[in-house]
A and B are shown apart, each in its own frame.
Chain A
Amino acid sequence: MKSTGQTRWGLAIAGWAVALGMFFPILWMFLTSFKTEITAVATPPAVFFHPTLENYFAVLERADYLAFARNSVAVSLGSTLLALALAIPAAYSMAFFPTRRTRDILLWMISTKMLPAVGVLVPIYLLWRDFGLLDTLFGLILIDSLSVLPIVVWMLFSYFREVPAVILEASRMDGATQAEELFHVLLPLCTPGIAATALLSIILCWNEAFWSLNLATVKAATLTAFTASFSSPEGLFWAKLSAASTLSIAPILIFGWISQRQMVRGLSFGAVK
């Protein structure tokens, strides 16, 4: 049953009102990034103004912005690769050679996500200090990859399980080794699923705030820490804050939009496909 013309328009108005309302803060930030510092704080707020790119130049010229951005890229890619390297064999083994304990292992894996980060802040801080991992990229990569690992395993597991075991058995009959079976048969078949998993992991690591703010404050600090530094009096520079924020969220927002339908299964631990 298609809705009639009138209700359709009513729905459209309501839908767009909600969408624009939710998106407004991001839009407002985006607009502010093209204002001068003076128009940014103007009352009444300036809606029409002469756009300028000076804030973007100012942010990019601050050499440290690029250092923070590089750290963010290194941490989110590094953690994702490490998590995938650990998770792909594990998910493969559980999806195609399930044992009586597979179910318990999967559940135990998410249960590690239930451990609130604050509960282990103190020991992790001290361990990282003693091993010289505080404020290093590797230290942050290690902790981020461990915290996304359960989600990555679950998501890959649910994609792998959709591959009919017959296909793998056929390759086995042809004499393929387990490594060949994994790399030449399964992974090519699951490329879209692996890509969606990688994107979700990149997004989570990019936006991760708790460990970044507590364990990496100077040399390995990411964009999360960089933007947090604007909470001090520097935050009065709204236009520059907006430009820096826009640069920091744009790539991730686009990744999120691309992979939104696929990432549902990772985020809901398979409850919604």
Chain B
Amino acid sequence: MGYTITEKILLAHVPGLKEIAPGDFIMAKVDLCLGNDITSPIAIKEFRELGRKKVFNHKRVVLVPDHFLPAKDMKSANQAKILKEFAEEFGITNYFELGEMGIEHALLPERGLIMPGDLMIGADSHTCTHGALGAFAAGVGSTDLAYAMAFGECWLKVPETIQLRFTGKPRKWVGGKDLILHAISDLGVSGALYKAIEFTGDTIGMLPMDDRLTMCNMVIEAGAKNGIIAPDKTTEKYVKGAIRKYKPPRKSYKLVESDEDAVYADIREYNVSKLEPIVAAPHLPSNGRPVSEFKNVKIDQAVIGSCTNGRIGDLKQAAAVLKNKKVNPGTRLIVIPATQAIYLEAVEAGYAETFVRAGGVFCTPSCGPCLGGHMGVLSEGEVAVSTTNRNFVGRMGHPKSYVYLANPAIAAASAIKGVITHPSNL
């Protein structure tokens, strides 16, 4: 009986283990563990209570204060300081101060810190993003992070895998975001609970890395433990580029793929050649419907950014829609590049100028308003179209505010019209 890519990676990270099956509990070695300015302070407190002198490996703990920096208030400043002081004391080399800092799930792949074949855990639910590189990456909590920082291990239950096979060439303005919103709407918000989602099919091969990262990013919205895509030429090119540019401490990687006779809990096929861009209505990411079904949904704000859609490909798409256009008077457009490198690239490519000339704002890298943190929190009754990942009650601010999830082109077109709009209707 063959193994899925997820099972193979998990098996390879338990020394001495000969076989593995879904449902097994394992204590796995982690290649990398990650925390941010919300989750790390708790982990650091717990780590300190253990009284250990060292972290398991000072190059394999990554701390990114991306949620509330530049500090939105004094309490947030205190949280971020806890990370900085800990990093100094324990010699954590992968601590990213403002200026280098970017959204964690865009920053790590960009810098070549996560490699194909890796096992990574992160105290952030969107850690599943990194599976796009052919790695096992799962979100955990602060206590798990504390444990991993100390022992380099994490307890995991081996998940069953659901295979989602995408076929056909997507139309213009349809990308990874639409594919994943479509799949979540099919599976439901708990349809993949405790399971791995493996994306396959010729469509995935056509997608650039940015779109693949978007897809793996949102598997948690169907309850999944991890999302994963078998590495191909696109993956290798991306990884080699990152190694060349940033010279990370680890330069080797392992290309793992599922066996032909691997066992799946479910296999679902989606032909996406006729798929329209998908918009998910409040208050669940599974409320996705074709954009054409949304008539006269007036918006107060459009947000383009986050670990889901704040990469250069996303900004390029938004800029293409906004070029020589104006944002609807009374509608706010907030664009947030995910990292400093993306920020710079957007400036050099002229995207930043396009956004500002259109009447939008171009902000410093941060999770920002995605989780109702800062830089665009919603008031009572306000409506936003957003390229982020969740539209739960109160997610972006007031419990009586409303978030529609969409791809960057839809968000940009909607900002121009002031209502949810397909770019070809401009």
A binds B: no
Point out residues on A near B: beta carbons under 8 Å. Answer: none
